Structure 1
Amino acid sequence: MASDQAETVDLLIVGGGINGAGIARDAAGRGLSVLLVERDDLAGHTSSASTKLIHGGLRYLEYGEFRLVREALIERERLWGMAPHIIWPLEFVLPQAHSPRPAWMVRLGLFLYDHLGGRRKLPATRAVDLDRDAMGDGLRPDAGRAFVYSDCWVEDSRLVALNAADAAARGADIRTRTSLVRAARAGAGWAAEIEQGGVRRRVEARAIVNAAGPWVVDLLGRLGQAPNERGVRLVKGSHIVVPKLYEGAHAFLLQNPDKRVVFAIPYEGDYTLVGTTDEPWDAAPARPEISADETAYLCATIARYFARPITPAQVVWSYAGIRPLYDDHAASASAVTRDYVLDLDAGAGRAPLLSIFGGKITTFRKLAEHALAELAPFFPEAGPAWTAGAVLPGGDFDDFERLVAALVAERPGLPPALLRRLARAYGTRTRQLLGAAAGPEALGEDFGGGLYAAEIDYLVAEEWARTAEDILWRRSKLGLHVPADAAARIEAYLARRRAAA
C-alpha cells in the first residue's frame, strides 16, 4: 500500500541509535523539521550493546588519541549534569598486579586523564593497597597496589530513548519499525520512500543524515553513492553478566597480558558485568552473539584477578554489538580509533548527504553539534547550538537522593525500592508515570520484578516501546529480574492494548 501525499521535512535522519537520536534532538531544537526513521527499535543494535560508560577512554591515550579523550572528558561531567537519573559517578580500581605496563606509565596516563578535560566534580586519582583496603575484597591474595580513578555509568539505551523523547517534544517525528526503501536526489533536495507496517510513504527532504551505524556504507550504496576513501571497520564487542563477584559499588579495570583491558562493573544489584572483547567482524552487519572463545577470554581475565573464578556455566546473560568504527587502517581491532568522522557530500549544488562514521556514546552530543555545523550552510534559518547543559527529560533535579526521598514521602503506599528504581530510570517523570497511584494495586497488572502495567503504558506512549524485548532489555534491564513467563504475558498485554486502541 502506498500513500500519494509526500511529506516535506528539512532533515531525514536514517538510524535510531545514539547519533541519530542526538542529531534529531539538536536539529529540532534549532527549529528544523526532522523525520527520523529506524527500521527496528531505538538503540536496537550498537547503542544498547556498549559497556555503558560515559568516559574519556583511558586506554586511548596509549594510542595518542588526545583530542578524542579531551573532548570525551569534557562531555563526561556535562552529560552527568544533563541526565543525573541515568548517569552517575563510578570509581574504577586499576590493579597493578599482572599489569603489562609499568606503574609510572599508568600513573602518567592517569595524571593526564585527571587534567586533560577540566574535571570539576569527579575526584582525582588516588593510590590504594588492595591487601588492606576494602576495595580489594574478592581479589586473589597479594593483590598489591592499585590506582583508583573515576568515570561515569550510563543506562545507554535509555540515553537514546530520552534524546528521542526530547527531540519529539521539540517537534521531531520519530518513527520506529520504519525502513528507508529508496532515496534519490531530486532538484535541490531528496525524494525518498519509507515503509512502516506495509504502508509506503513519500518524503521530500532538504538533506539526509546517514546515521545507520554498522550499515552506514550499505546505506550509501542504496543511495547510489560511489565508494570513497571513507570506510567503516566493524568490530564485535561482547559482554557477559554473572552473579555478583564482589561487594562494593566500585568497578575494576583489569589489564591482560595482551595489553587489552576488561571491565568488571556492578550490575543490576545482584550481578557483575564483564567486558568487553574486540574481535574483527568481517561478515555483513547483523545481530551478533558472543562466541565461546570470547566467553572463555572474559572468564580467564576474571580468574587472573579474582579469588573465585567464573565458568561459562555461570553466565546468566550475554550480549554483543557491532561497533562501526572509522577505518583508520590500524593493525588490530583494539587499536582502531574511537573518534568520529563526518563525511558531507554536497558538491556542485547537490542536495546534502551527511554520513556519520565511528564515534562513541560519550561524544554523541558533541558529534551532533558538529553535524549541525556541517549542515549550517544549507539551513541559514537554523538556530544556534543549544544542547550544552540542556537537561534531558526527567533530569531536572539537583540531588538524586533528595528526589527519591521526596517520592517516598509523596507515595507512602508504594514500596521505596520500586520508587528508587523508577527514579533511576525516569527521574522527575516518575510522577507522570505513576499518575495518581497511591499503592501497587493502582499500577495495574503485576508482571513481577517490580514491573507493572502502568510502566508499560508509559513506555508505549512516551518512548516508542512496542514489544516485550523493547521493555525488558532496552528501556530497562528487568529481563534479569522478572519470572520466566513475563515476556509472554507482556506480549499478551500489548496485544490487548492494540486491540482496544
Structure 2
Amino acid sequence: MKRPPLAWWNWRQAQEVIVVNLTEPGATPRATKIAKMQQLSATPVLIVGGGINGISTFRELALQGIPVIMIEQGDWCQAASGALSRMIHGGLRYLETGEFSLVKESVEERDRLLANAPHYVAPLRTTVPIDSWSGGLINAGKRFFRLSERPSRRGALIIKTGLAMYDLYTRQYGTMPHHQLHSQRATQARWPDFADWVKCSASYYDAWISAPERLGVELINDAEQANSQALALNYLQLLSCDGENVTLLDTLSGQRVTLRPHVVVNATGAWIDQLNQRLAVDKPAKKLIGGTKGSHLIVRHPQLLAALNGEMVYYENQEGRVCIMFPWFGHVLVGSTDIRVDNPDDVVCDAEEQRYILESLRFVFPGFDVKDDDVLYTFSGVRPLPASDSTLNGRISRNHSLVLLPPQAGRDFTTLCLVGGKWTTFRKFGEQAADKVLNLLGESRKVRTDQLAIGGGKNYPAADRRAAWLADLGQRYPLPPARLEQLLQRYGTLAAEIAAFICQSADAPLSGLADYSCNELRYLIHHEQVQTLEDLLLRRTLLAISGQLTHQRVSEINILLASELGWSADQREQHLATTLAHLASLHGLTGLYPREPREGVSYVSNA
C-alpha cells in the first residue's frame, strides 16, 4: 500500500497520546521506555545505530522538539565510535588529497569541541619528524592530481606547505597557535631519542579526547532531558521489516516492539549495507560502504612516555603511512592500521597488526625496546568509509555524505543513510542529517548547537575559576577536596550531580580500586543505561583502556552491577565469564586470572 502524505499521522497530536501512566511502582527507566514504545503505533523518525553520528542526529532532532526514537543493538559508541585514535583533529593530511572543505569543517568543529566539551577535549601539541628537506615533491604532486596512489615519505618543504595552508584555516576558523619548523639541532635537543634519519621536525597543535564514549552518553542524556518524547535505548535490535512496519527486539528481555516509521535514519556505520538489505524487503540496495579496520595499542613503557613529555608524535613509518603516538593516562597510545574488511563483526587487533605497529614505533624510537609484553590493551574498529575502487585505503575520502532512499515498492518509508564521517565532525554531520529529516517532516530548525555545551562541559570553570568552583562544591557536599577534584576531572560539571548522589547514602571505596566508590558506579549504572559489565568497564569509565583491570577489580564491580540489576548468582557468574572472554579475545586482556597481582606486576598484559 502506497503511503499517504505526512498528514496521515499528526505526530504532534500523538505526542499528547503517549503521555499516559506507564510508570508502575518499581519500574526501571528501561522498562518505562519500552512501555512507551509499545504504546506507539508509529514514529516520525527512527534512528538505527547508536554511534556518534546517530547520537548527534538524535540530539539535533530532539532539540527541535521531534519525538525521535534511536535504537542501538549493542551499547552506545561500542563499535567504530569507541575505537577512534582519540584525536580531535583538523585533518591535516586531507590537504594532500585536495579535500579543503573537509579541512575547513574539521578545524571549525575541532575548536567548537574545545569550547563545548572542555571536560574531555583539550589541545595537543604535535611534532612531525622529517627525514629530508625536499623529499617526496614529485610524488606529492602526482597524488594531488590523482596520478598516483603510491605512498611515499614527505620532506620538510611539503610538510611546511601543508602546515602553512593549515594555519590559514586555523587563523580564520580556529584558535590554535601556528606551526613551527625546527632545525636538526633544535630537533635533537628536544627529541634526543629520535632515530638518526630525522633531519628536522615541525610542530603544530590539534586536540585529543579523553572519554569519547562518555561524551556520546552525555549527548543522549542532554537530548532526552530537553525533550521527554525523545527516546534512546541500547540493546534494541531492528529484527525485521515488512515494508511498512519494523519489528524491534529487546535483546535483554526478549520483548518486541512494532513501529511504523515515516523516516528511518540508517546510522549503522560499517553495517549500513546490511541494514539497507533488511529494509529493502524485495529490492537489493546499492552498496554504500567499503570499511577499513583500524587497530591501536596501549603500551606501558615509562621511557617512551617520558620522551613524549605530553606531546603527540605524528610520523610516517618506513612505507610512508601515517602513524601516531601520544601519552595516555600514564601509558602510550600507538596506532594505527588501515586494512580493508568485508565483515565488520568482531574485528580485533591481530598479532600481525601488533607487530606492524610496534615496528613502526621502533622506526622512530629505535633505542626503546617495546615488546609484546608491554602491550596493556588493544582495540580495533571499522571505519565506515564510502565504497571506493581506490587501491590505497589512505586515499579513500574521510568526508561524510547523506544518501536518500525514497519509498519504493516493498518499502513504504524514506531511508536516510549516513555514509562516512569522522569523530571531529560529528556535530556538523548530525546537523546536516537532521536538517534533511526536518525537511522531510515539513519542519524547521528552532535550536542551533554550534555553541551549545555538552553534558559536563556546561558552565565548566576556567583554570582561574576552578579552585573557587570546587570550594563551592565542597560547601554543599561533604567530600574531601581531592575527591571533588577527581570527580571534576572525570565528569566535568556533572561532578555536582554525582557528588549529590554519592552523599545521599552510605558510600565506600571499592576494595580493589580505591579511586572509585560504590555510589559513583551506582550513579553510572542507573543514569547512563549500563546493562553489561563491559558497558561499565569500557565505556562509562576508562578502567579498561587505561590499563587498570585486574581479576579482583572486574569481579568486585561485577558483583556490584549484579546487585543493582537484580541478577541471580548464576547470572552473575555467567556474565563474569562472558566478560572475561570478551576482554581477552577483543582487547588482548588475556592475563585477567583469578589471583591477586604481585607487587609491581599488572595482569592486564599479553604475558
**Normalization by structure 1: what TM-score?**
0.91
Matched residues in 2 for 1:271 and 1:224: separation?
A: 47
> In the alignment, is the contact (CA less than 8 A) between 1:32 and 1:382 conserved in 2?
no
SS class of match (2:458): coil
Identity %: 29
Aligned residues: 494
When structure 1 is superposed on structure 2, of 51-60 and 13-22 the one drifting more is: 51-60
SS class of match (1:367): helix
Cα distance change of structure 1 residues 360 and 312 upon mapping to structure 2, 3 Å threshold = same
When structure 1 is superposed on structure 2, of 65-74 and 273-282 the one drifting more is: 65-74
> In the alignment, is the contact (CA less than 8 A) between 1:56 and 1:69 conserved in 2?
yes
Query: Aligned-pair distance for 1:34?
Result: 1.1
Cα distance change of structure 1 residues 443 and 403 upon mapping to structure 2, 3 Å threshold = farther
> In the alignment, is the contact (CA less than 8 A) between 1:13 and 1:208 conserved in 2?
yes
CA deviations on 1:210-241 (whole Å, 9 max, x unpaired) are 10111110000111263455521120000011
Matched residues in 1 for 2:220 and 2:313: separation?
A: 32
2:537 aligns to what?
Answer: 472
2:195 paired with 1:195: no
Cα distance change of structure 1 residues 348 and 438 upon mapping to structure 2, 3 Å threshold = closer
Matched residues in 1 for 2:474 and 2:193: separation?
A: 38
Cα distance change of structure 1 residues 58 and 227 upon mapping to structure 2, 3 Å threshold = farther
CA deviations on 1:394-444 (whole Å, 9 max, x unpaired) are 112354534642454343975665544432331111011111757997455
Structure 2 residue runs of 5 or longer lacking an equivalent are 1-33, 136-152, 569-607
> In the alignment, is the contact (CA less than 8 A) between 1:448 and 1:482 conserved in 2?
no
CA deviations on 1:332-362 (whole Å, 9 max, x unpaired) are 1222111112111125795321011111011
2:430 aligns to what?
Answer: 368
Alignment of 1:369-388 (within 5 A): 369-384=431-446, 386-388=448-450
2:516 paired with 1:451: yes
Query: Which of the pair is proportionally richer in strand?
Result: 1
Letter aligned with residue 298 of structure 2: V
Alignment of 1:230-379 (within 5 A): 230-243=287-300, 244=302, 245-247=304-306, 248-268=309-329, 270-282=330-342, 284-306=343-365, 307-346=367-406, 351-379=413-441
Match of 1:57 among 45, 67, 91: 91
> In the alignment, is the contact (CA less than 8 A) between 1:87 and 1:152 conserved in 2?
yes
Query: Aligned-pair distance for 1:481?
Result: 2.1
Matched residues in 2 for 1:449 and 1:320: separation?
A: 30
SS class of match (2:521): helix
Letter aligned with residue 116 of structure 1: Y
> In the alignment, is the contact (CA less than 8 A) between 1:22 and 1:163 conserved in 2?
yes
1:31 aligns to what?
Answer: 65
> In the alignment, is the contact (CA less than 8 A) between 2:160 and 2:181 conserved in 1?
no
When structure 1 is superposed on structure 2, of 28-37 and 197-206 the one drifting more is: 197-206
Matched residues in 1 for 2:503 and 2:464: separation?
A: 20
Letter aligned with residue 490 of structure 2: A
SS class of match (1:365): helix
> In the alignment, is the contact (CA less than 8 A) between 2:276 and 2:285 conserved in 1?
no
When structure 1 is superposed on structure 2, of 26-35 and 323-332 the one drifting more is: 323-332
CA deviations on 1:129-163 (whole Å, 9 max, x unpaired) are 47546641543467442111111111221221121
> In the alignment, is the contact (CA less than 8 A) between 1:125 and 1:150 conserved in 2?
yes
Structure 1 residue runs of 5 or longer lacking an equivalent are none
CA deviations on 1:2-59 (whole Å, 9 max, x unpaired) are 9874443221110110011000000000110111111111011110000011112211
SS class of match (2:345): coil
> In the alignment, is the contact (CA less than 8 A) between 1:92 and 1:251 conserved in 2?
yes
Cα distance change of structure 1 residues 385 and 434 upon mapping to structure 2, 3 Å threshold = closer
Root-mean-square deviation (Å): 2.7
> In the alignment, is the contact (CA less than 8 A) between 1:82 and 1:392 conserved in 2?
yes
2:160 paired with 1:107: yes
Cα distance change of structure 1 residues 403 and 260 upon mapping to structure 2, 3 Å threshold = farther
Cα distance change of structure 1 residues 161 and 403 upon mapping to structure 2, 3 Å threshold = farther
> In the alignment, is the contact (CA less than 8 A) between 2:507 and 2:518 conserved in 1?
no
Alignment of 1:353-432 (within 5 A): 353-384=415-446, 386-397=448-459, 399-402=461-464, 404-406=466-468, 408-409=470-471, 410-411=473-474, 414=479, 418-432=483-497
Letter aligned with residue 264 of structure 2: I
Letter aligned with residue 537 of structure 2: L
When structure 1 is superposed on structure 2, of 86-95 and 240-249 the one drifting more is: 240-249
Letter aligned with residue 32 of structure 1: I
Matched residues in 2 for 1:438 and 1:348: separation?
A: 56
SS class of match (1:179): strand
2:182 aligns to what?
Answer: 128
1:169 aligns to what?
Answer: 225
**Normalization by structure 2: what TM-score?**
0.76
2:600 aligns to what?
Answer: none
Query: Aligned-pair distance for 1:499?
Result: 2.4
> In the alignment, is the contact (CA less than 8 A) between 1:125 and 1:148 conserved in 2?
yes
Query: Aligned-pair distance for 1:450?
Result: 1.3
Cα distance change of structure 1 residues 238 and 312 upon mapping to structure 2, 3 Å threshold = same
Cα distance change of structure 1 residues 257 and 22 upon mapping to structure 2, 3 Å threshold = same
Letter aligned with residue 83 of structure 2: A
When structure 1 is superposed on structure 2, of 30-39 and 390-399 the one drifting more is: 390-399
SS class of match (1:51): coil
